């Protein structure tokens, strides 16, 4: 049984660092839900599990191309959460070139631009998937989509949609593919409810989301077709990113039904 000092565990553990993920093209997915989605997507290279977890999740163990029982200590070394539920998989990164994703003509796209908080980026990915988006772009100096916290926040959606990593300047490419590009901004000239009323959201749409602290970079704001705000009806100054993204993406989903 593998221990924390077994070379394969030591090597897998390095995937907690971005540099090692970038170099190897691999990443870690932990917990039964993420492992199930990774297996379904054919992304798992090796599954590590405690004997108890491998017995409890025999269906998952049976699907793994390579299976390695590990000690509780070794599992804890691989896992980033306090309750990893006994399973960690080494997966192959599955992002696709932007051209390949756009060739499928997605009608709903989310772009996280320079969002460095992994929990926020993963949540937008999950929400975009739920709203029916086909493609999520991590643009510019955004968090690594394979960051452990981003993978966990995405709750499996990392394996459902086309994930793209791109430079910041993607607006023209999106527009050339027939998508209207809507930049979210607290001071946008349009509000999402008016666009929904006006039928504008039925068009194929890419939504741009910036970081909570800084919003979107000025050149993305000006390159977009419209700058759109979520209306604030009460005393709050703004919404948090997850909430704003949910309102925008679901407004599009509603219009595109």
Residues forming the site for a second copy (CB under 8 A): 33, 123, 126-133, 153, 155-157, 160-161, 193, 196, 230-240, 242-247, 250, 253-254, 257
CB of 114 to a second copy, least distance (A): 19
CB of 161 to a second copy, least distance (A): 7
Residue number, 45 or 253, with CB nearest to a second copy:
253
Residue number, 172 or 197, with CB nearest to a second copy:
197
Residue number, 77 or 121, with CB nearest to a second copy:
121
**Beta strand pairing status for 87-92 and 26-30?**
antiparallel
CB of 59 to a second copy, least distance (A): 17
DSSP string over the chain = -B-TTSHHHHHHHGGGSHHHHHHHTEEEEESHHHHHHHHHTT-EEEEEE-HHHHHHTHHHHHH-SSEEEB-HHHHHHH-SSS--TTEEEEEE-----HHHHHTT--SEEEEEES---HHHHHHHHHHHHHTT-SEEEEESSPPPTTSHHHHHHHTTGGGTSEEEEE-S--HHHHHHTT-EEEEE-TT-SEEHHHHHHTTGGGS-EEEEE-BTTTBS-HHHHHHSSEEEE----SS-S---HHHHHHHHHHHHHHHH-
Residue number, 15 or 124, with CB nearest to a second copy:
124
CB of 127 to a second copy, least distance (A): 5
Residue number, 1 or 40, with CB nearest to a second copy:
40
CB of 31 to a second copy, least distance (A): 13
Residue number, 115 or 230, with CB nearest to a second copy:
230
- Radius of gyration over alpha carbons of the chain, in Å? 20
Residue number, 4 or 119, with CB nearest to a second copy:
119
The values of phi and psi at residue 230, to 5°, are -85, 125
CB of 153 to a second copy, least distance (A): 8
- Please give the Cα distance from 21 to 17 (Å, whole number): 6
CB of 210 to a second copy, least distance (A): 17
The neighbouring-strand residues paired with 89 are 29, 47
């Amino acid at each position: 049984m593998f221990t924390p000092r077994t070379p394969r565990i030591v090597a897998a553990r390095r995937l907690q660092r971005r540099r090692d993920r970038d170099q190897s093209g691999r990443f870690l997915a932990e917990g039964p839900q993420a492992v199930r989605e990774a297996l379904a997507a054919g992304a798992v290279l090796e599954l590590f599990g405690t004997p108890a977890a491998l017995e409890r999740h025999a269906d998952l163990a049976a699907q793994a191309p390579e299976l390695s029982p590990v000690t509780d200590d070794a599992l804890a070394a691989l896992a980033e959460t306090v309750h990893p539920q006994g399973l960690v998989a080494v997966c192959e990164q599955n992002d696709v070139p932007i051209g390949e994703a756009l060739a499928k003509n997605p009608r709903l796209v989310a772009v996280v631009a320079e969002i460095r908080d992994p929990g926020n980026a993963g949540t937008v990915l999950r929400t975009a998937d739920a709203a029916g988006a086909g493609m999520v772009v991590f643009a510019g100096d955004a968090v690594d989509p394979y960051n452990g916290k981003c993978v966990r926040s995405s709750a499996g959606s990392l394996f459902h949609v086309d994930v793209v990593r791109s430079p910041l300047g993607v607006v023209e490419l999106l527009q050339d593919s027939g998508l209207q590009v809507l930049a979210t901004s607290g001071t946008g000239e349009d509000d999402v409810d008016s666009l929904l009323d006006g039928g504008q959201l039925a068009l194929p749409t890419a939504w741009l989301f910036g970081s909570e602290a800084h919003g979107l970079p000025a050149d993305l704001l000006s390159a977009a077709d419209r700058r759109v705000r979520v209306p604030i009806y009460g005393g709050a100054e703004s919404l948090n990113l997850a909430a704003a993204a949910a309102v925008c993406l679901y407004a599009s989903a509603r219009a595109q039904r």
